[in-house]
Amino acid sequence: MINSSPDHEKIFDEILKMNPDEVQAKPDSAGDHPGTKVHESEINFNLLPEELEEFLNRYIINQESSIEIIATKVCTHFNRMKIEMNIPEDQRIVGNIKSNMLLIGPTGVGKTYIIKHIAKKIGVPFVKADATKFSETGYVGGDVEDLVRELVYEADGDIAKAEYGIIYIDEIDKIASSGNTSGPDVSRTGVQRNLLKLMEESEVDLKTPHDLASQVEAAMEAQRTGKVTRKKINTKNILFIVSGAFSNLPDIINKRLNRQSIGFDKLRTSAAAKQEVIKQLKTEDLIEFGFESEFIGRLPVSVILNELDVDGLYKILKNSHSTVVFGKKMDFKAYGIDLDFSDDALMELAKRAHLEKTGARGLLSVFEKLLIKFEKKLPSTDIKKLYVDMNLINNPDKTLSALLLEDGLTKFQKEFLIEHGIYLSFDDESKTKLEKKSNESNKKIRDLCDELFKDFFHGIRLMKLEAFTIPGAAVDNPKEFLDSYIKQNYKTQV
């Protein structure tokens, strides 16, 4: 709540006259925490909303309207903090409300991806956690305050720096209660209460009560220095971003809108319709979903992310910053193989990924499904290039088998030429038969050729030939074939 007494109005006036560029932020807690690196940290933040927005849009596809809000609120949070740190503590606004954010969107649409890019770009300490980790707090598992301590760890022990970090909590919908007053619900509501304290302002002890080692260390330090050092982290400037899929939220909104009977089934299934419904979200829907009103009250900014359609998924694949294609290329590059894709192949993969209904995560699984056998087999060959086109997509096994055949034959040919000075080739029938035999016996083409034709050089030499084409019959029964071939041709030769 903003206190607008005349005193405050004067202060507001002064603040508003300040030029942000001239403000040199200094951490207000300097000196409060002996033994920590408070003096080193200053907020070195001068990004503008449009700059952050432009940066994020380079990496994240089809989330322009969400990015607009997120980039603006993140920048305002840090730029405001920079100004506020310059104001004496006793003159600051009391009960300031931060721009903590709630991101709502199905799996794999970029929630975590956006936040990771923000943390990277603005260089503040960043901690990511799953709300489910805290579902049994107080009994087993972690304590929400651990997140704040982790920020100090991320800030290399610099408490002041940690005090303006970002805490990102995923799967927040899992700590909504279903309305029961016992069992896990009690604990979920408990987690919400603990979190909301942090989300506003509280002081967290750096030493955990359950961490015996740090307690002993503190006691020893107190003995040595004669002082009990107070190491606390204030959370008032820490930005909290929470996210979740909230899958049955559209049902709740529909119910409020009294829409359940009108085309409800259609609304349930159509992604676009669902998205339309979610856009009408009100705080009361989140309370109905199972959140305490106080908890939702600490999340003034809510952002609804888009589902990704086929076109969006294709754009992700075509994006030069995309980690999906790049990651897969790196997997192959690890074996010296250059991987490339045709555009229509990428479109087909986007279509297949869309059917998985897991957003961009579906892309990863279709890539794996398609390429895993190539990733296993090609490293043992001399193949240094793989081009994924529609032919490969429609016939992956056949394509792989043909590649392995050509590679194995070339290897055997080369070895045979070097060893015996004879150039071997294979007709189409022998190739088909070798391929079949290799697949059935699970033997590599080169090994199979070695087994079948390694003694052929005696016969071929006898005939004084420098080149020889292996026919299909030679694959079926190499010894018999060679014997009869020699018998027939030796006679005619003599």
Ligand X SMILES: Nc1ncnc2c1ncn2[C@@H]1O[C@H](COP(=O)(O)OP(=O)(O)OP(=O)(O)O)[C@@H](O)[C@H]1O
**By CB under 6 A, residue 361 contacts ligand X:** yes
Single out the residue of 11, 57, 68, 113 in contact with ligand X (rule: CB under 6 A): 113
For residue 63, the partner it binds in ligand X, Mg ion, none, with Cβ less than 5 to 8 A by kind, is ligand X
Phi, psi of 170 (to 5 degrees): -90, 170
**By CB under 5 A, residue 170 contacts Mg ion:** yes
**By CB under 6 A, residue 413 contacts ligand X:** no
Q: Which stretch binds Mg ion (CB under 5 A): 108-116, 130-138, 371-379, 465-473?
A: 108-116
Q: Of 305 and 345, which CB lies nearer to ligand X in the complex structure?
A: 305
Q: Of 118 and 316, which CB lies nearer to ligand X in the complex structure?
A: 316
For residue 353, the partner it binds in ligand X, Mg ion, none, with Cβ less than 5 to 8 A by kind, is none
Q: Of 171 and 221, which CB lies nearer to ligand X in the complex structure?
A: 171
Binders of ligand X: how many residues, by CB under 6 A? Answer: 20
**By CB under 6 A, residue 316 contacts ligand X:** yes
Closest to 161 measured CA to CA, from 39, 41, 33: 41
**By CB under 6 A, residue 329 contacts ligand X:** no
Determine which helix (DSSP H) or strand (DSSP E) holds 418, and give its type and residue range.
helix 396-420
Q: Of 116 and 256, which CB lies nearer to ligand X in the complex structure?
A: 116
For residue 250, the partner it binds in ligand X, Mg ion, none, with Cβ less than 5 to 8 A by kind, is none
Single out the residue of 41, 62, 137, 177 in contact with ligand X (rule: CB under 6 A): 62
Q: What span, in angstroms and rounded, lies between the C-alpha atoms of 379 and 316?
A: 28
At 312, is the secondary structure helix, strand, or coil? helix
Residue type, 112: T
User: How long, in residues, is the chain?
Assistant: 494
Q: What span, in angstroms and rounded, lies between the C-alpha atoms of 11 and 5?
A: 10
Maximum Cα interatomic distance, the chain, rounded to a whole number of Å: 121
**Which residue carries 């894709």 as its tokens?**
341
Give the neighbor-by-neighbor strand order of the sheet with 301-304. 126-130, 166-170, 239-244, 101-104, 301-304
Closest to 347 measured CA to CA, from 308, 312, 306, 392: 312
Total Cβ atoms within 10 A of residue 108: 22
Q: What span, in angstroms and rounded, lies between the C-alpha atoms of 102 and 289?
A: 14
**By CB under 6 A, residue 61 contacts ligand X:** yes
**By CB under 5 A, residue 173 contacts Mg ion:** no
Residues in CB range of 481: below 8 A, 6 or more apart: 471, 473, 474
Q: What span, in angstroms and rounded, lies between the C-alpha atoms of 223 and 433?
A: 83
Residues 231-250 that bind ligand X (CB under 6 A): 245
User: Distances in Å between the alpha carbon of 387 and those of 339, 362, 367?
Assistant: 6, 21, 13
Q: Of 60 and 147, which CB lies nearer to ligand X in the complex structure?
A: 60
For residue 198, the partner it binds in Mg ion, ligand X, none, with Cβ less than 5 to 8 A by kind, is none
Q: Of 112 and 275, which CB lies nearer to ligand X in the complex structure?
A: 112
Q: Supply the minimum distance, in Å, between the C-beta of residue 247 and Mg ion.
A: 14
For residue 324, the partner it binds in Mg ion, ligand X, none, with Cβ less than 5 to 8 A by kind, is ligand X
Q: Which two tokens stand for residue 353?
A: 């990924």
**Which residue carries 């074996």 as its tokens?**
335
**By CB under 6 A, residue 125 contacts ligand X:** no
- CA neighbours within 13 Å on the CB side: how many for 150? 14
Q: Supply the minimum distance, in Å, between the C-beta of residue 184 and ligand X.
A: 21
SS (H, E, C) 466-482: CEEEECHHHHHCHHHHH
Write each residue from 202 to 241 as x if it is in contact with Mg ion (CB under 5 A), else as -, in one continuous string. Answer: ----------------------------------------
Q: Supply the minimum distance, in Å, between the C-beta of residue 107 and ligand X.
A: 3
**By CB under 5 A, residue 112 contacts Mg ion:** yes
Q: Which stretch binds Mg ion (CB under 5 A): 168-176, 267-275, 373-381, 383-391?
A: 168-176
Single out the residue of 60, 118, 281, 393 in contact with ligand X (rule: CB under 6 A): 60
User: Distances in Å between the alpha carbon of 383 and those of 402, 423, 424?
Assistant: 12, 21, 20
**By CB under 6 A, residue 360 contacts ligand X:** yes
Are 148 and 134 within 8 A, CB to CB?
A: no
Write each residue from 72 to 111 as x if it is in contact with ligand X (CB under 6 A), else as -, in one continuous string. Answer: ---------------------------------x-xxxxx
Closest to 125 measured CA to CA, from 96, 159, 82, 98: 159
Q: Which stretch binds ligand X (CB under 6 A): 57-65, 199-207, 221-229, 294-302?
A: 57-65
DSSP 8-state symbol, 182: S
Q: Of 324 and 370, which CB lies nearer to ligand X in the complex structure?
A: 324
**Which residue carries 């309207």 as its tokens?**
65
* Sites of contact with Mg ion (CB under 5 A): 111-112, 170
* Sites of contact with ligand X (CB under 6 A): 60-63, 105, 107-113, 170, 245, 316, 323-324, 359-361
